[in-house]
Amino acid sequence: MTQPPGSSPTAAATAPEPGFRHELYAYEGEDQFLQGVLSFIDDARAGREVVLVAVTSAKERLLRDRLEAGGAAGGVSFLDVTALGRNPGRLIPAWQEWITKRAADGHAVRGISESSWDGRTASEAEELRYHEWLLNLAFARSPAWWLLCPYDSTLLDSAVLEAAGRCHPQALSAGVHGPNPGFVEEPYAFAELGAPCDPAQELAFRTGELAAVRAKVTACATEHGMDPTRLQELLIAATEVASNSTKYGGGRGTLRSWVEDGTLVCEFHDSGHIQDPLIGRVRPTIDQNGGRGMWLVHQLCDLVQIRSTAQGGTTVRLHTALD
């Protein structure tokens, strides 16, 4: 699958201009979480900034109780990140939409996003790390805003925290906001995709054979009891990716499917090359020519993984939960 030229996924995610402040907050337990986040909200309110808090429902209840008890709930909105954030590819357009609306109303904005939690799959954790890296590209020229990203060091592996640190130019530590010494300006290094689970089913397809692709996906999903509504969503996404393979990947592609951790994985591979690292992660504009298909794929699937090089071609994995 090849897309029109754009920024290379291997380009360095350089530190953004002062318009966007991307800050890591590694904390230990509930008390430190409240201390850092409530202080951040208080500072925003003092500057008449509005705040969007994207956290789990448990953290939302915790913060709402403290804010309401202090009479300081105004100017703070909440978003349950567990549904939206399971697929990190949906987060950038959600932030862009919120920021654009508030900026149009004349508001200065801040955000709090805790998208990493104990229990994520290895695939979800890797895509979240890529999302954190992509934020610096996506908002390099956005209106000025400040995003605080809490990470609970008592629950998360040290490797997860180290990887997150490499993606955040700033950090909050011991109550002080400043440059993050762990941030590294370098090309993004993808972890290798895990091997397909046995038994993996395979189908080679060419231009004009999308019906065979849909039939293969349907058979595999039905065999494992996928809900009919979710199946229809998966079929739309699979058709889009397979169509891109035949259009941009030399007229042919390969589909493999298997079940892993209660999730049906459909993997498409072709000889094309995607050059835009933000493909599918930015909401298309009304007058935009192309680029809507992969955005729709991200909205329909629980997780989307894309790996693409000029030498090795493109692999796209679509994850859809069977439950």
- C-alpha 19/C-alpha 147 separation (Å) is 11
pLDDT tens column, 183-220: 998 889 898 898 898 778 899 999 999 999 999 999 99
- Average pLDDT of the residues of the chain: 89
Alpha carbon of residue 274 to chain centroid? 17
- Higher-confidence position of 168 and 68: 168
- The answer to whether the predicted template modeling score (pTM) of the entire model surpasses 0.75 is yes
CA distance 50 to 65: 18
3-state secondary structure at position 302: coil
Percent over 70 (pLDDT), the chain: 93
Say yes or no to pLDDT of 15 above 80.
Answer: no
Residue 112 CB neighbours (<10 A): 27
What's the pLDDT score for residue 285?
A: 80
The sheet with strand 313-321 has its strands ordered as: 201-206, 252-260, 263-270, 313-321, 303-309
Q: Which CATH architecture has domain 20-179?
A: 3-Layer(aba) Sandwich (3.40)
DSSP codes of every residue in 80-114: EHHHHTTSGGGHHHHHHHHHHHHHHTT-EEEEEE-
Residue ranges of domains in the chain:
20-179, 201-321
What pLDDT shows up at residue 107? 84
pLDDT band at 265 (very low <50, low <70, confident <90, very high): very high
Confidence of residue 72 (pLDDT cuts 50, 70, 90): low
7-16, 173-182, 301-310: segment of lowest average pLDDT: 7-16
**If you compute the radius of gyration of the chain from its CA atoms, what whole number of angstroms results?**
20
Residue 106 · residue 99 · CB < 8 Å: no
Model pLDDT, residue 1:
54
Q: What fold is seen in the domain 201-321?
A: Heat Shock Protein 90 (3.30.565)
Highest mean pLDDT, choosing among 9-23, 133-147, 279-293? 133-147
Predicted local distance difference test score (pLDDT) of residue 215: 97
Mean of pLDDT values over 173-191 = 92
pLDDT digits (tens, 9 = 90+) for 89-105: 999 999 998 888 888 88
Q: How many angstroms separate the Cα of 57 from the Cα of each of 25, 30, 67, 82, 101?
A: 19, 14, 15, 8, 24
Q: Note the pLDDT of residue 30.
A: 95
